[in-house]
Amino acid sequence: MARTKSPNFEVQRSTILENAAQLFAQKSFPSASIAQLAELCGMSKPLLYHYYRDKLHLLFDIADTYLDRLVAIEDEVAGQGLDTEAHLTELIVRFMEEYATSRHYHIVLVQDVKFLEDEAYRKVAEKQRQVVDGFARLIASLRPELTAVQIKPVAMTLFGMMNWTFTWFRADGPIDRAAMAEIVSQMFLHGVYSPGLPHIPPRQEETPHEQVHLPENGAA
């Protein structure tokens, strides 16, 4: 006889998923354990298995849930009736906002989906392609002279700019997230000479030669 789900089953499942995303992001998927997750959730391992079969089930759900959010953002922005450049700019801003809001999910997506088994990996990869294709169509509209072969690396270059800011960006630094999103959009659309790059005054403790430096220990 199947076990009856409690009224708050989905709420509890969502809480477990949030904690799993945090744990996997901090320790990496291979290093995190179900025992650690159960402790973080304040429940026993047997109870946790009532909600998720195993770590791979959790990993897939983290990636799939996060990608659903990104697809929803693409759909929402597409419905705003913006011109192509404004549409792409808004997507960049909204995606980078979501990356910050869902930082643990984002880290797991870019670092750990390679551990999924074949069928689950294919499902995630297909949804990732759907997200990238949304950007690629806008780029193709902006630059119709580009071939289909050229469009994908251009789109992936943009994702490279957006996806890895978590490795060095400091939310408490001199640049806030909105300015960072503007920098990415202006750099991608118009290059380093873009007149639209935001002016960011140096912090009082900085001298001019200190404003540009290489990241130290993964931070800038």
Q: Which of 28-32, 132-136, 173-177, 188-192 has the lowest mean pLDDT?
A: 173-177
- Average pLDDT across the chain, whole number: 88
Q: Which of 98-107, 117-126, 194-203 has the lowest mean pLDDT?
A: 194-203
Distance of alpha carbon 92 from alpha carbon 70, whole angstroms? 11
Task: Give the pLDDT score at 198.
Answer: 67
Residue 76 within any structural domain of the chain? yes
- The model's confidence at residue 14, banded by pLDDT at 50, 70 and 90, is very high
Residue 195 within any structural domain of the chain? yes
Burial class (CB in 10 A: 0-12, 13-18, 19+), 124: buried
Residue 20 within any structural domain of the chain? no
Per-residue b or e along 174-204, where b marks 16 or more CB atoms closer than 10 Å to that residue's CB: eeebeebbbbbbbbbbeeeeeeebeeeeeee
pLDDT digits (tens, 9 = 90+) for 173-201: 888 888 888 899 999 998 887 776 766 56
Residue 204 within any structural domain of the chain? yes
- DSSP β-bridge partners for residue 216: 219
- Asked whether the CA dihedral 142, 144, 146, 148 is positive or negative, the reply is positive
**CA-to-CA dists, residue 192 to 13, 174, 189, angstroms:** 45, 19, 9
Distance of alpha carbon 27 from alpha carbon 136, whole angstroms? 33
Residue 130 within any structural domain of the chain? yes
Task: Give the pLDDT score at 170.
Answer: 83
Question: Considering its fold, how many domains does the chain have in total?
Answer: 1
Distance of alpha carbon 44 from alpha carbon 189, whole angstroms? 51
Task: Give the pLDDT score at 4.
Answer: 59
- Structure tokens of 165? 């800011």
In the chain, pLDDT over 70 holds for what percent of residues?
86
pLDDT digits (tens, 9 = 90+) for 47-100: 999 999 999 999 999 999 999 999 999 999 999 999 999 999 999 999 999 998
Helices 55-78 and 103-112 meet at what angle, rounded to 10?
110
Task: For residues 108-136, give the mean pLDDT.
Answer: 97
* 204-213 long-range Cβ contacts below 8 angstroms, 24+ apart: 206/174
Which of 94, 96, 61, 58 lies closest to 76, judged by CA? 94
- Asked whether the CA dihedral 154, 173, 170, 219 is positive or negative, the reply is positive
CATH classification at residue 141: 1.10.357.10
Residue 215 within any structural domain of the chain? no
Q: Which of 105-114, 122-131, 169-178 has the lowest mean pLDDT?
A: 169-178
pLDDT at 216 over 80: no
- Asked whether the CA dihedral 106, 74, 184, 156 is positive or negative, the reply is positive
Distance of alpha carbon 120 from alpha carbon 116, whole angstroms? 6
Question: Could you list the residue range(s) of the whole structural domain that residue 173 is in?
Answer: 64-210
- DSSP β-bridge partners for residue 153: none
Residue 123 within any structural domain of the chain? yes
pLDDT at 169 over 90: no
CB-CB contact of 181 with 96 (8 Å): yes
Task: Give the pLDDT score at 168.
Answer: 86
Task: Give the pLDDT score at 98.
Answer: 94
Residue 157 within any structural domain of the chain? yes
- Structure tokens of 207? 């001298």
